[in-house]
Amino acid sequence: MKNNEKKYLSVKDYLVSEESFDLIYDSELDLLKTFPQPNIEALPKYYESQNYISHTDEKRGLFSSMYQLVKKWSLQKKTKLILSQNNGIGSLLDVGAGTGDFLKIAKESGWQVQGMEPNKNAVKLASEKGIELKPSLNDFKGKQFDVITLWHVLEHIPNLEETIIELSKLVKPNGTLIIAVPNFKSFDAKHYGKFWAAFDVPRHLWHFSKESIQKLFSENFEIEKIEPMIFDSFYVSLLSEKYKTGNKFSLKAIWFGLISNLKAKTSKEYSSHIYCFRKVK
């Protein structure tokens, strides 16, 4: 480890492999790194689960049903957000587009949409909705967009610094970059510790704080606003409680999700945040 790095916590992959991984704290960037990180060829096997709901439209079971219900509400909020940040309809690239629901509703609202998604099953489901997705950011070289979004995607990307450079090239001058990621400094993260579901190792390779996100994008972007994702604390707490106790539903988890949001009103450290950037260079 480097001088600015130290072990923060050991966590387990509860979804697929049950392997253990370390979280290494980088004091310069104020972020956590999953260690060891699987190589790019090995990563896909950690997504091979019917319970990985962002790559499916599954509504069976409590967590899937809750996820899909909240997703429907959040899609409306997302489309309002990109409209306000862009001051109107324009061109949109969604990175890590999943099954294409966000792009579908944006397209129906008049946006010129394109998307990137490496998972073949998700791409197939998106195609059935009339949304064609590309497998790599390299497929968009030479193009620029009014708005680029990454909804809980940045934490999955292996080549973080290279991706940030590519994203800066793809955003038009004065364009908008919107990033949503979990926050390891939230109350629910601290409460559940090694059981916190949003660590989600090794699918989540990076674990961000507000400071780390702003540092990583400071060269070409200015932060305009940060918004909370208030439902994340409830969903993540329910899943964390399941990992900790085996209970599929827990009122205790709902309580801790609520406490997390209430504490965040003062600390401003919500379970997840949406960061809205403006390209300045």
What pLDDT was estimated at residue 52?
56
Helical spans, DSSP H, in 4-92? 62-86
Distance CA 160, CA 116 (A): 16
Q: Is the peptide bond before 158 cis (omega within 30 degrees of 0)?
A: no
What pLDDT was estimated at residue 51?
63
Parts of the chain with a pLDDT under 70: 50-69
Catalogue all structural domains in the chain, each as residue range(s) with its CATH number.
5-279 (3.40.50.150)
Instruction: For residue 147, give both structure tokens.
Output: 């708005």
Contact 54, 20 (CB under 8 A): no
pTM score = 0.92
Helical spans, DSSP H, in the chain? 62-86, 101-108, 120-127, 160-170, 187-192, 210-216, 232-245, 251-267
pLDDT, one tens digit per residue, over 138-194 is: 999 999 999 999 999 999 999 999 999 999 999 999 999 999 999 999 999 999 999
Measured over the CA atoms of residue 241, residue 245, residue 249 and residue 254, the dihedral's sign is negative
Instruction: For residue 126, give both structure tokens.
Output: 């998106």
What pLDDT was estimated at residue 270?
98
Q: 193 in helix, strand or coil?
A: helix
What pLDDT was estimated at residue 60?
54
Instruction: For residue 153, give both structure tokens.
Output: 């995607």
What pLDDT was estimated at residue 68?
64
What pLDDT was estimated at residue 31?
97
Name 6's Cβ contacts closer than 8 Å, sequence gap at least 6: 24, 25, 27
